[in-house]
Amino acid sequence: MTRRDGFTLLEVMVAMAIMATVMVALLQNHAFSINLSESARNRTVAVQLARIKMTDIELMGYPPLEDDEGDFGELYPGFAWRIETDESLFPGVREAHLLVLWQEGPTPQELDVMYFIADTGPFPKTGEGGPLLPDDDDDGGAGAYGGDGASDGLGDVVAPPPTSGI
């Protein structure tokens, strides 16, 4: 009986084939996790840029009814924005639709945010807790929901009712 020390060539080749298969699977998983991390980073940046752009729009006041677009400058290359502003169902409120756009490889990506901006001018017409209604009869009156009938040149602006203490 002879004693053998070590492995045969066939055993070494089988072990190397198994290791190669495992390494390929691990490298594919690693590449996938890197792409996923990059995608999460881009989405986080897009959310922050959307917040900044929404704040800019709110600070400008009541937005005009027009579409606008641009980019975020040299600090965020590849990121752009587009905004579409429309009337909402509520008087004195505009609907702003903000898109933040960027590219991930061959696929374009976008973050879509919709929000509402109210006109913060003079108090809108209210009355008895009713809906906001314009004075469309030009009689100097207070519109459909009351008032003192006097005209001050600003239309019929009725202050909101006082609130009671806490």
Q: What is the CATH number for 81?
A: 3.30.1300.30
- Percent of the chain at pLDDT exceeding 90: 38
| Confidence grade of residue 2 (pLDDT, cut at 50, 70, 90) | low
Question: What range does the domain containing 145 cover?
Answer: 122-166
CA nearest 45: which of 70, 67, 72, 69? 72
Residues 6+ apart with CB under 8 A from 95: 85, 86, 87, 88, 114, 115, 116
Instruction: Tell me: do 44 and 67 sit in the same domain.
Output: yes
Same-domain check for residues 84 and 43: yes
Percentage of the chain lying above the pLDDT 70 cut = 71
User: pLDDT tens for residues 13-57?
Assistant: 999 999 999 999 898 888 888 889 999 999 999 999 999 999 988
How many independent structural domains does the chain possess? 2
What 3-state class would DSSP assign to 115? strand
Q: Is residue 160 part of a domain?
A: yes
Please check whether residues 113 and 148 belong to one and the same domain. no
Q: Is residue 2 part of a domain?
A: no
Q: pTM for the whole thing? A: 0.58
In a domain, 1, yes or no: no
Least confident of 11-15, 98-102, 130-134: 130-134
**Same structural domain, 19 and 91:** yes
89, 133: one domain = no
- Indicate the helix (H) or strand (E) that contains 37: helix 9-59
Q: What is the pLDDT of residue 47?
A: 95
Q: In this predicted structure, what is the pLDDT of residue 125?
A: 53
Same domain membership, residue 129 and residue 74: no
Question: Per the domain annotation, does 147 fall within a domain?
Answer: yes
Return contacts of 97-105, CB within 8 angstroms, 24+ apart.
98/50, 98/53, 98/54, 98/57, 100/46, 100/49, 100/50, 100/53, 102/42, 102/45, 102/46, 102/78, 103/78, 104/38, 104/39, 104/42
Comparison of pLDDT for 5 and 152, the residue scoring more = 5
Largest CA distance in the chain: 121
Do 83 and 61 share a structural domain?
yes
